[in-house]
Amino acid sequence: MSALFEPITLRSLTIPNRIWLSPMCMYSAAAEGPETGVATDFHLAHLGSRAAGGAGLVMVEATAVRPDGRISAWDLGLWNDRQQDALARIAALIGQHGAVPAIQLAHAGRKASTGKAGSGGGPVAVEDGGWPVVGASPIPLQDGYPTPLELTEAQIADVVEDFAAAARRALAAGFQVVEVHGAHGYLIHQFLSPLTNHRTDGYGGDFAGRTRLAREITAAVRAVWPADLPVLFRVSATDWIADEPSWTVEESVLLAKELHALGVDLLDVSSGGLVPHATIVAEPGYQVPFAARIRREAGLPVNAVGMITEPAQAEQVLTDGDADAVMLGRELLRDPYWPLHAAKALGVQRNWPAQYGFAVGSRG
């Protein structure tokens, strides 16, 4: 048996294999009116095809817990019934294809109110349809971006409750896994890193202060999520900044231990995204060592992401003990049936959807 195709059990939930779809923003939700933030038929087809293609877990992209937490006007949201109902269709379809439906909950913080990625991006001013952005401290992303409003402690409490409320809706919509997005320069990451957190209250300063929001949100989500279903947390293991105080892999290990104690079942290990001047040397598997270190030193399951493209490469990550699962992003965009092709390459028998059997035949 290939390690990639061994089931993995988190709490009472068994995920059929270790190839998971990474959450990737599609910027395809309704952008205005009563349908704002509502998933469309594109999402249904996009996510359903990855489930049909054999991924063991299919995670819906970063889904904002409140309107001003969207990266762009075209992001998914989960703060009302219309959004919940549309996502319920998607969760059901994912499950019908034998995959586990999962969803990532997020708040973009100072990286909110931007244009579509791939269509110029950049900040969108309030007068042009954007909205005021918030953050840990009043530090803009870069020149030309708005200075975020520093969240008050009362506003932070509201954000914590928004994550819990969105988790309740995710459960009602039929999702079996929920992930808290604490990576890639979004709001929680902005609190974690001393590059973006200059606060002097209980949410800033030392490690305990800077990780407080991550811990409070995780605890709030865990409290409303069933005890027999898993909670995941995505972290940027490092800011990739060497010459000034920043978030490091050593702190990621410490945070992982604390999140594990709060009920996080697996850490989704990525990196970067906080500041545009980071120097990242991207190469095949470049983030796997971070996952391996956190798994080894923090003692909880992890998944690895980042330029994992070949079946043998993905298999090696697991057999080496560097991770418990792999998340594929761009590779599953290019080939929704990558898991089925990987099965053949690794000598594992996996059936294609019955509707495609006449085309695949013995070449499956």
Q: Active-site positions?
A: 186
What is the Cα–Cα distance from 26 to 72, expressed in whole angstroms? 11
Question: From the centroid of its chain, how far is CA 23?
Answer: 5
CB-based contact 40:84 (threshold 8 Å): no
Rounded-to-integer distance, Cα 109 and Cα 70, Å: 8
Q: What is the DSSP letter of 348?
A: -
Distance CA 240, CA 237 (A): 9
Q: How many Å apart are CA 175 and CA 155, to the nearest integer?
A: 28
Q: Are 51 and 98 in contact, with CB atoms under 8 Å apart?
A: yes
Structure tokens at 119: 């269509």
Question: Three-class SS of residue 156?
Answer: helix
Within 8 A by CB and 6+ apart from 261, the residues are none
177 by DSSP, 3-state: which?
strand
Query: For residue 98, what are its two tokens?
Result: 């034998």
3-state SS, residue 192: helix
Which of 121, 48, 179, 128 has its CA nearest to residue 40? 48
The tokens of 160 are what? 């914590």
For 352, the token pair is: 């294609």
- Helix (DSSP H) and strand (DSSP E) numbers for the chain: 12, 12
The two tokens of residue 159 are 């954000």
**In one letter, which amino acid is 45?**
A
* 75/335 Cα distance (integer angstroms): 23
